[in-house]
Amino acid sequence: STIVLIFEAPKDFNFYVKPGQKIRFGEALGSL
Amino acid sequence: LHTAPLRSLPRLRPFHFLVATGGGYAGYRQYEKHKEKQLENSGVEIPPKIASDWEVSLYKSVPTRLLSRAWGRLNSVELPTWLRKPILSLYIWTFGVNMKEAAVEDLHHYRNLSEFFRRKLKPQARPICGSHSVISPSDGKILSFGQVKNCEVEQVKGITYSLESFLGPHACKENPKKKPASSSSSSSRDSFQKQLVTKDSNELYHCVIYLAPGDYHCFHSPTDWKVSHRRHFPGSLMSVNPGVTRWIKELFCHNERVVLTGFWKHGFFSLTAVGAQNVGSIRIYFDRDLHTNSPRYSKGSYNDFSFADTDAASREGVAMRKGEHLGEFNLG
């Protein structure tokens, strides 16, 4: 299964992940 | 061949034919992989090898929905208590499930694999990050993320799909926060993206998370937002593992999926749960009307449901807190 997030955010929104990284529910995805 | 007596000819049985063609195709694929490896080692960037239309059609012709429902029905049969531990242990071993995090560790508690697949975690197993506005809604692997440009969303590196095909036409009525669509947009794709974004100073971002078979398969709210609309696209149930995702362009637009759209503090927000082979059923806890992986559906159709009660202006949808239980994937 897959979950896809698509959202609007200001230009300085940053992701704190890398492609291929394992992630767990509750961990940071991104922020301003 | 002409002179040999018939009985001495090795009778060409279908099995031999299958082995020969299967073996030939496998050998060809190995050779291709070896060639790509050599090119990669010599520093040549290889574009992802994308399936041709006939390969996609061939794959889509496999009755994966029927198989998925059968698989779901099989796994809903109540197992005798003595059989639960061996079967579930095999699944745990095969997919590397960490049972220490499960709310219930005793395998006899789960009457079948479907119940096990819907297992919950101990609350303390997944602390919610308080310092970032967007958290991961589930366990899994990050396939891709970043800005959405020209209305194309990256599926994996080098392969994109159309945002408009994925979300479908605009559902929300003119929302109060939205500014009128800019008349300058050059193409319809551009205006589709522009109409999603409510402020000029904002961009559109995306993130794709792949859940492996052994992962915890419930999902939660990734931020504080209000869900105003649900769109359910019945569709195929092709595998979405990273290898297939790199092979079939627009894979997420082919598969059964449930698109939740709404608003967060910066404007538009959406979460889409995409079904896959054997995991064709998707539940959204506050959406009783949602029925996925039904036997019959018309191609290209979708079902809309609005949670925004237009009368009560304050209730623009279902308010979801960051980390709140939102839904789950089910076998079948």
**Three-state secondary structure along B62-100?**
CCHHHHHHHHHHHCCCCCCHHHHHHHHHHHHHHHCCCHH
Provide the percentage of residues in chain B whose pLDDT is more than 70. 87
A→B contacts (Cβ < 8 Å), by residue, are 1-11, 13, 15-32
pLDDT at B32: 78
Q: State the pLDDT confidence band at B100, using cuts at 50, 70 and 90.
A: very high
Q: Which carries the bigger pLDDT value, residue A1 or residue B39?
A: A1
Mean pLDDT value across chain B: 87
| Shortest alpha-carbon distance between residue A3 and chain B (Å) | 5
pLDDT at B185: 45
Provide the percentage of residues in chain A whose pLDDT is more than 90. 97
Query: What is the separation of C-alpha B196 from the centre of its chain, rounded to a whole number of angstroms?
Result: 22
B264 phi, psi to nearest 5 deg? -120, -170
Interface test with B, best of A4, A18, A31 (most B CBs within 10 A): A4
pLDDT at B5: 61
Q: State the pLDDT confidence band at B172, using cuts at 50, 70 and 90.
A: low
Q: What are the tens digits of pLDDT across the range B190-200?
A: 788 888 999 99
| Shortest alpha-carbon distance between residue B97 and chain A (Å) | 13
pLDDT at B34: 80
pLDDT at B176: 42
Asked if B44 contacts B308 with a C-beta cutoff of 8 angstroms, the reply is: no
Beta-carbon separation of B136 and A15 below 8 A: no
B142 phi, psi to nearest 5 deg? -75, 115
Q: What are the tens digits of pLDDT across the range B284-318?
A: 999 999 999 998 888 889 999 999 875 544 458 99
Q: State the pLDDT confidence band at B186, using cuts at 50, 70 and 90.
A: very low
Tell the burial category of B123 from Cβ atoms under 10 Å away from its Cβ (0-12, 13-18, 19+).
Answer: exposed
What average pLDDT does this structure show over B142-168?
Answer: 92
Using a CB–CB cutoff of 8 Å, tell me whether B137 touches chain A.
yes
Provide the percentage of residues in chain B whose pLDDT is more than 90. 62
> What part of B 233-262 touches A (C-beta under 8 Å)?
240, 245, 252
Tell the burial category of B300 from Cβ atoms under 10 Å away from its Cβ (0-12, 13-18, 19+).
Answer: exposed
Q: Number of C-alpha atoms within 13 angstroms, CB side, residue B148? A: 30
- Pick from A5, A22, A32: CB nearest B207: A5
pLDDT at B246: 87
pLDDT at B216: 97
- Give the torsion through C-alpha atoms of B65, B68, B72, B73, to 10 deg: 70
Give the Cα separation of B255 and B302 in Å (integer): 12
pLDDT at B297: 84
Interior angle at CA B184, CA B180 and CA B189, nearest 5: 85
Give the Cα separation of B122 and B134 in Å (integer): 22
DSSP secondary structure letter of residue B12: -
Pairing of strands B134-135, B218-220: unpaired
Structure tokens at B306: 């609005």
Asked whether the predicted pLDDT for residue B183 surpasses 70, the reply is no
Beta-carbon separation of A3 and B274 below 8 A: yes
Q: Which carries the bigger pLDDT value, residue B188 or residue B103?
A: B103
Interior angle at CA B229, CA B148 and CA B69, nearest 5: 90
What average pLDDT does this structure show over B161-172?
Answer: 88
Structure tokens at B115: 């119940």
Q: What are the tens digits of pLDDT across the range B71-81?
A: 999 999 999 99
| Shortest alpha-carbon distance between residue A18 and chain B (Å) | 7
What average pLDDT does this structure show over B36-48?
Answer: 73
pLDDT at B14: 77
Asked whether the predicted pLDDT for residue B142 surpasses 70, the reply is yes
Beta-carbon separation of A8 and B276 below 8 A: no
Q: State the pLDDT confidence band at B2, using cuts at 50, 70 and 90.
A: low
Asked whether the predicted pLDDT for residue B211 surpasses 70, the reply is yes
**List of residues 6+ apart from B186 with CB closer than 8 A:** none
